[in-house]
């Protein structure tokens, strides 16, 4: 793009409107880009319609922006939808990844049964048992959130604070996963098959990263 193009686009009220709206919104990049793009295209269509009716182009752009609503006026309704989309994403990540660390914990002897001589020290088991309970609660809430914000919400109202709840549930679950990762790695020297326990700990770190990032994005949406 040439300098002239850049200058003209920057001066275009429609481009300015789209950039201002995008700067105000938080949420999944693709969903946000799609929403801003649709609004920008709609604005251009409105400008074209006014121009065809004989309005001068610069006035047509101002009129179109006034009819559409300012970025400040549009942002709340756009943000509300993006927050729900991010909450659904976080719920999906939680529901899909949480069973993995639970399985790792069980395989590495966390159930208390001596599976193939892998039993962990009793202290580690006690620490790990709490995160296991947190994860089960988190996965149930995640499934409920995903269902409640999809087609089911045609009949059931979506609780206003549900995105906040799922954001913090994700954060707590991510912290629990991080704790378990450390526990498994630190406890591996005491296990009969320490490489298996150490690998299990390392593998729990992957869902920890996914859930932590998604929960952080959801918290940003909620506070936007």
What residue ranges bind other proteins (CB under 8 A)?
A: 31, 34-35, 38-39, 41-43, 45-46, 49, 67-69, 73-74, 77-78, 80-81, 84-85, 88, 149-151, 153-154
Query: What phi, psi does 108 have (nearest 5°)?
Result: -90, 15
The SS3 call for residue 54 is coil
When the beta carbons of 46 and 214 are compared against other proteins, the nearer one is: 46
CB of 65 to other proteins, least distance (A): 9
Within 8 A by CB and 6+ apart from 205, the residues are: 177, 178, 181
CB of 221 to other proteins, least distance (A): 13
When the beta carbons of 85 and 215 are compared against other proteins, the nearer one is: 85
When the beta carbons of 84 and 197 are compared against other proteins, the nearer one is: 84
When the beta carbons of 77 and 113 are compared against other proteins, the nearer one is: 77
When the beta carbons of 113 and 153 are compared against other proteins, the nearer one is: 153
With b for 16 or more beta-carbon neighbours within 10 A and e for fewer, the 28-51 pattern comes to beebbeebbeebbeebbebbeebe
Element at 151 (helix H, strand E): none
User: Distance between CA atoms of 63 and 157, rounded to whole angstroms?
Assistant: 36
With b for 16 or more beta-carbon neighbours within 10 A and e for fewer, the 113-137 pattern comes to eeeeebbbeeebbebbeebbebbee
CB of 84 to other proteins, least distance (A): 7
CB of 36 to other proteins, least distance (A): 9
CB of 35 to other proteins, least distance (A): 6
């Amino acid at each position: 793009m040439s300098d002239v193009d850049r200058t003209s686009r920057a001066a275009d009220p429609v481009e300015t409107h789209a950039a201002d709206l995008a700067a105000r919104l938080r949420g999944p990049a693709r969903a946000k880009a799609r929403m801003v793009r649709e609004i920008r295209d709609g604005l251009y269509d409105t400008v074209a319609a006014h121009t065809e009716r004989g309005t001068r182009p610069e006035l047509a752009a101002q009129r179109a922006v006034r009819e559409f609503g300012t970025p400040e006026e549009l942002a709340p309704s756009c943000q509300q939808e993006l927050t729900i989309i991010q909450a659904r994403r976080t719920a999906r990540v939680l529901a899909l990844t949480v069973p993995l660390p639970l399985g790792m914990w069980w395989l590495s002897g966390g159930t208390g049964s001596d599976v193939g001589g892998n039993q962990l020290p009793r202290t580690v088991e006690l620490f790990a048992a709490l995160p296991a309970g947190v994860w089960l609660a988190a996965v149930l809430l995640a499934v409920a959130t995903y269902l409640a914000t999809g087609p089911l919400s045609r009949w059931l109202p979506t609780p206003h604070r549900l995105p906040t709840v799922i954001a913090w549930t994700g954060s707590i679950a991510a912290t629990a996963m991080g704790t378990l990762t450390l526990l498994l790695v630190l406890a591996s020297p005491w296990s009969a098959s320490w490489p298996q326990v150490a690998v299990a700990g390392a593998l729990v770190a992957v869902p920890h990263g996914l859930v932590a990032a998604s929960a952080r994005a959801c918290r940003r949406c909620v506070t936007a």
